């Protein structure tokens, strides 16, 4: 089985009620990225600044953790040591 990552666009979700919207241009994605929490904006800055990260996607989809469905905040591809990593700044659904 091939080890490939096909996520290119984030899931489309409505802005949570009362949440602020942060928008920034991502040089690695060559498009505008939207975030609804300050913690996600800070995590995005770390991904953009890390030279090992080749590309990433915000809100790539849902993951199952102990049979509970959680929205993943980011999925990134690194040159090395690991190729695919999913990360989450919180456990919100």
| DSSP letters for 26-92 | ETTTTEEEEESSHHHHHHHHHHHH-TTEEEEEES--EEEETTEEEE-SEEEEESSS-SEEEE-S---
- Looking at residue 8, what is its pLDDT? 67
Given a cut of 80, whether residue 23 has pLDDT beyond it is yes
User: Which pLDDT tens digit goes with each residue over 44-75?
Assistant: 898 899 888 888 888 777 888 898 888 777 77
pLDDT at 86: 56
Tell me the average pLDDT across 7-21.
74
Band of pLDDT at residue 25, cut at 50, 70 and 90 = very high
Domain residue ranges in the chain: 22-87
What's the CA gap between 3 and 83, in Å, rounded? 9
CATH number of 22-87: 3.40.1350.10
Contact present, 70 and 55 (Cβ < 8 Å): no
Q: Are strands 31-35 and 68-71 parallel, antiparallel or unpaired?
A: unpaired
């Amino acid at each position: 089985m091939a080890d490939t990552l096909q996520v290119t666009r984030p899931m489309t979700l409505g802005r949570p009620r009362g949440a602020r919207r942060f928008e920034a241009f991502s040089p690695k994605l060559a498009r505008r990225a939207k975030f609804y929490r300050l913690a996600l904006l800070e995590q995005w800055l770390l991904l953009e600044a890390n030279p090992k990260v080749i590309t990433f996607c915000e809100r790539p989809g849902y993951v199952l953790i102990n049979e509970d469905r959680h929205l993943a905040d980011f999925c990134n591809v690194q040159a090395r040591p690991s190729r695919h990593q999913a990360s989450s700044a919180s456990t919100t659904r």
